Structure 1
Amino acid sequence: MPEQRARVAAIDCGTNSIRLLISDIGDGRKTDLLREMRVVRLGQDVDRTGHLAEDAVQRTLQASREYAELIAMFGVTDIRFCATSAVRDADNAEAFGDAVEGVLGVRPEVLAGDDEARASFLGATRDLDDVRTLVVDIGGGSTEIVVGTGDRIEWSVSLDIGSVRLTERFLPSDPASVSEVAACMEHVDAVLAPVVAQLDPVGSFVGVAGTVTTVAAHSLALPSYDSDVIHRARLDLGDVSAACLSLVQMSVADRRMLPFMHPGRADVIGAGSLILDRLVAQLPLDTDTLVVSEHDILDGIAWDMA
């Protein structure tokens, strides 16, 4: 007898954005019906204060109300709300959870770093070749690095380096000064060094999430953001690094003028690009190509609901 398909809503509440995916899942298949993103910057100043700012919480709750309407409209049977780095680090996470539950009727699940890494890997690799792969997910508050084959994860780590966190900590100027960029790169390299020492060379390299997809759009010189072109694009690592350093050197105003740039990402893409550049430089890769995936932790959250 065929497995019954369920209509699910997965919500990924990150440091910079909150995203919604509504899908029908069953029989080993996932049919996506709706993807939405709101840049709410929930992690605003969390690195400095350890506290979710009230205005950031209100922006996130407003997006949650909009998502609740969409979820009802689509007749969703199951909702999963996952929060990551910013909520992990916040001393008022419990109160935030109460507020979200009041809007959506489900309590946020705060993913540990390893769980976040696993969901990112499963989402990214589900429709890629079944080979040993290293996946990087650069978020606003943290970066996950995962190695595995198929649905078998052999190693993962979550690092407290993300586009929002490092912008607030290292890149206050607009555009960033040479000394600020150098200090940020030095910090990322220091965080990566003990991680790189644990890794064997990997022949398949996949990048996910907004920093990677935006760098891909820049590298490809797209006239507008085009998910179909970006998904599964194969980029030369030298071209990736060149695109990263180009974005770092721009002012926020110049980044906003790029036709593919989401306005809520323009002020933090410099730090995210530096993280990607240092990953390309430091990771033990047996490939000269980055594969870009539009499928990520959000898809992994949905698959886990099957």
Structure 2
Amino acid sequence: MTEQRIGIIDIGSNSIRLVVYERTAQGAHRVIDGSKRAARLSEQIDERGNVPETAISELVDMMNHFRLICAHHRTGYIRTVATAAIRNAANRDDVLRRIEDEAGLRVELLSGEEEAAYGFLGMINSMDITDGFLIDIGGGSTEVSLFRDRTLVQSVSFPFGCVNLTRRFAPKGVLADEDLRALEAYVEEAVGKESWISWSPDLPLVGVGGTIRALGKVHQAHVKYTFQSHHNYPIAGDEVDALFEQTRKLPLDKRRKLPGLSKDRVDIIVPGIAIARALYKAARSSHYVVCGTGLRDGLFYDTRFPEQPRQTDVLAYSVSNLAALHPAMPRQHVAQVNRSAMQLLESLRHDQPLPERAWLWLDTASSLFRIGASIDYYEYAKHTFYLMINSQLFGLSHRELLICAAVASYKSRNRAKLLAASFRPILDDHDVQLISLLGTLLQLAVALDRSETQAISRLDVAVDGAKLLLSATRAEGALAVERKEVDGLADDFKKVWGLTPHLTVPHLR
């Protein structure tokens, strides 16, 4: 697929979405436009199982609207798919024909298994997770998949979702005790026919789709979570149960004011969470994890990279993609800083106890520390922090992402303290020390190429008492700029590491 822009249209049972992806001149990918319309198609199915004429006409109008948005962006390829509501409709052939004839879009009708596979692809390319269950609670269907060693093992699509179960058990959006028991019994009976769901206890239940994202947003608002990202957000099972009961007991007028809950989910959120709880219980899961990617992302990867849609290293890919989105970054300088930072960490690993993944964090930070200069060079550190925590930097927990961004933008220990204070309890005092250790290493690595000429081609590092000896055994020139920068950092480095760095150029002696 060589088109510069790709449009993905997902005709879901609850909502219809468009996402436009762009491939930049540097080969990076990003979303440049998106649109969502609430449709509630599975709610409109009539007693004969048909999508009514009014709903078809509205759908065609929406498709034409999305096609015009794609045309505005000169989108080279539009991939349109439909899921449960159309899949299960008695007049589905007529619906698909109308969309093709009147909107010029050929629609792929995804099977439940295909829907699960694309959802899995979107999730696995955005999370560093090995084993678990994946659930996608849509409006008219729910997909459940088991994955092991990052590979899809088994999946099933159930013919129920948050919209059609709301219609059946909570027509006014209120799920009474008796109706809840009936809903749970209905889900449990269907799930019980898939015995493999109960064979792998104590695995995380990863959720994609609007229901689980809404659950994550409401929970974050409830606990006053200090980091506004719902992707890769874990929630304990008992906390979901407590939040479910609180939300279920709220009348609709008060539920509309619930922080974090969008207005188009006020009536369907409770039945949706009820489905999630029933599946959590059946799978005997360890905890929930909210995933911000899913079906549309999987369709994009399958379209753009048909030969190898699944990424082998999620973090490395997203770091490379984010760096490519900021082409003004001096690549040779950043590569030199990255090499020096990792060499310094290797040389000093016995001087300070560091977590095993500290290598990964410094590698990430030293690869991205200059992306903020694309906004403003003089304030690039703060812009780097903002860009890192608000971009698709996958494969890290929230704590790890904040640590990486803090290291990449490190200025001083006091600044690290202030930053950690604004993200408590995700970051604590121990993390301040960790950020300071890695941040000063990165500062020293930057100082060693301050002229941005990559003048040092070989650096020997040794510890002699309270001195950190940096010997540029292969270097061009006297490194006057670098030596002055290292001297300027010496006091701050000593406060954190207990070592005073000294840069020498042996051939000048």
Task: Tell me the TM-score normalised to structure 2 length.
Answer: 0.55
What is the DSSP-based 3-state SS (H/G/I as helix, E as strand, rest coil) of the residue aligned with 2:221? coil
Determine helix, strand or coil for the equivalent of 1:203.
Answer: coil
Shift of 1:83: 0.5
Higher relative contact order (CA 8 A, sep 6+): 1
In structure 1, the residue matched to 2:215 is 215
2:322 corresponds to:
none
Q: How many residues align?
A: 301
Q: Tell me what 1:61 maps to.
A: 60
For 1:227 and 1:75, the matched residues in 2 are separated by: 36
- What is the alpha-carbon distance in structure 2 between the residues aligned to residue 150 and residue 47 of structure 1? 43
Q: Which residue of 2 aligns with 1:292?
A: 290
Moved more, 46-55 or 77-86: 46-55
Q: What's the CA shift string for 1:175-201, capped at 9, x where partnerless?
A: 232211211111111112222545323
**Paired residues of 1:42 and 1:53 also in contact (CA < 8 A):** no
Whether the 8 Å CA contact 1:46–1:89 is kept in 2: the answer is no
SS of 2:248's equivalent in the other structure is: helix
Query: Secondary structure, in 3 states, of the residue corresponding to 2:232?
Result: coil
Q: Does 1:18 align with 2:2?
A: no
Alignment match, 2:204:
204
CA–CA distance in structure 2, aligned partners of residues 47 and 125 of structure 1:
37
User: How has the CA–CA distance of structure 1 residues 80 and 265 changed in structure 2, closer, same or farther, with 3 Å as cutoff?
Assistant: same
> What secondary structure sits across from 1:156 in the alignment?
strand
Residue of structure 2 equivalent to 1:268: 268
Q: Which has the larger radius of gyration?
A: 2
Instruction: Give the counterpart letter for 1:305 in structure 2.
Output: T
Aligned to 1:277: 277
Provide the C-alpha distance between the structure 1 equivalents of 2:184 and 2:266, rounded to a whole number of angstroms: 19
C-alpha distance in 1, partners of 2:241/2:113? 27
- 1:248, 1:149 → 2: CA distance? 34
Q: Which residue of 2 aligns with 1:70?
A: 69
User: Which letter maps to 1:36?
Assistant: S
Bigger fraction of residues in helix: 2
Stretch moving more, 230-239 or 259-268: 259-268
Separation in 1 of the partners of 2:236 and 2:74? Answer: 43
Residue type of the partner of 1:171?
A
For structure 1, the residue ranges without an aligned partner over 5 or more in a row are none
TM-score normalised by the chain length of structure 1 = 0.89
Tell which deviates more after alignment, 68-77 or 37-46.
37-46
* Whole-angstrom distance in 2 between the partners of 1:138 and 1:25: 30
Show CA shifts across 1:28-63 (max 9, x none).
964222222110112224384311122322332232
Aligned to 1:88: 87
Q: Is the Cα–Cα contact under 8 Å of residues 175 and 252 in structure 1 kept in the other structure?
A: yes
Q: Aligned partners of 1:28, 1:249: CA distance in 2, in Å?
A: 50
Range moving further from structure 2, 155-164 or 61-70: 61-70
Query: For the structure 1 residues 19 and 249, does the alpha-carbon distance in structure 2 shift closer, same or farther, using more than 3 Å as the test?
Result: same
User: 1:241–1:280: 8 Å Cα contact kept in structure 2?
Assistant: no
Give the match's secondary structure for 1:31: strand
Out of 212-221 and 101-110, give the one that drifted further: 101-110
**CA RMSD for the aligned pairs?**
2.6
Amino acid across the alignment from 2:71:
A
The one-letter code matched in structure 1 to 2:232 is R
Which position in structure 2 is the counterpart of 1:117? 116
Aligned to 1:229, what secondary structure does the other structure show? coil
**CA separation in 1, counterparts of 2:237 and 2:169?**
25
Q: CA deviation at 1:15?
A: 0.8
2:240 is aligned with what amino acid?
Answer: V
Counterpart residue identity of residue 290, structure 2 = V
Sort the Cα spacing of 1:111 and 1:22 in 2 relative to 1 into closer, same or farther, 3 A: same
Aligned-partner residue type, residue 278 of structure 1: A
Contact 2:5 2:21 in 1 (8 A): yes
* Cα separation, partners in 2 of 1:38 and 1:174, compared to 1, 3 Å: closer
Cα gap change, 1:63/1:5 in structure 2, threshold over 3 Å: closer, same or farther? closer
2:40 maps to what in 1? 41
Structure 2 residue runs without a partner (length 5+): 305-509
Cα pair 1:215 1:244 within 8 Å, conserved: no
SS at match of 1:134: strand
Question: What CA distance in whole angstroms lies between the structure 2 residues aligned with 1:106 and 1:201?
Answer: 43
CA deviation vs aligned residue, 1:68-126 (integer Å, no higher than 9, x gap): 12101111111111101011111111121122223542211110010000011111121
Deviates more, 1:293-302 or 1:188-197: 188-197
Asked if 1 retains the 8 angstrom alpha-carbon contact of 2:135 and 2:142, the reply is yes
CA contact (8 A) 1:45 1:168 kept: no
Structure with the higher fraction of residues in strand conformation: 1
Note the 1:220-239 alignment, pairs <5 A.
220-221=220-221, 228-239=228-239
Which residue matches 2:250? 250
Q: 1:221 to 1:130 in 2, by over 3 A?
A: closer
Residues 241 and 17 of structure 1, relative CA distance in 2, 3 Å threshold: same
1:238 partner letter:
D
- Alpha carbons of structure 1 residues 28 and 154: separation in structure 2 relative to 1, 3 Å: farther
Q: How many Å separate the matches in 2 of 1:152 and 1:57?
A: 38
Q: Does 1:102 align with 2:101?
A: yes
For residues 295 and 234 of structure 1, the distance between their equivalents in structure 2, rounded to whole angstroms, comes to 15
- AA partner of residue 246 (structure 1): Q
Mapped partners of 2:59, 2:129: distance in 1: 37
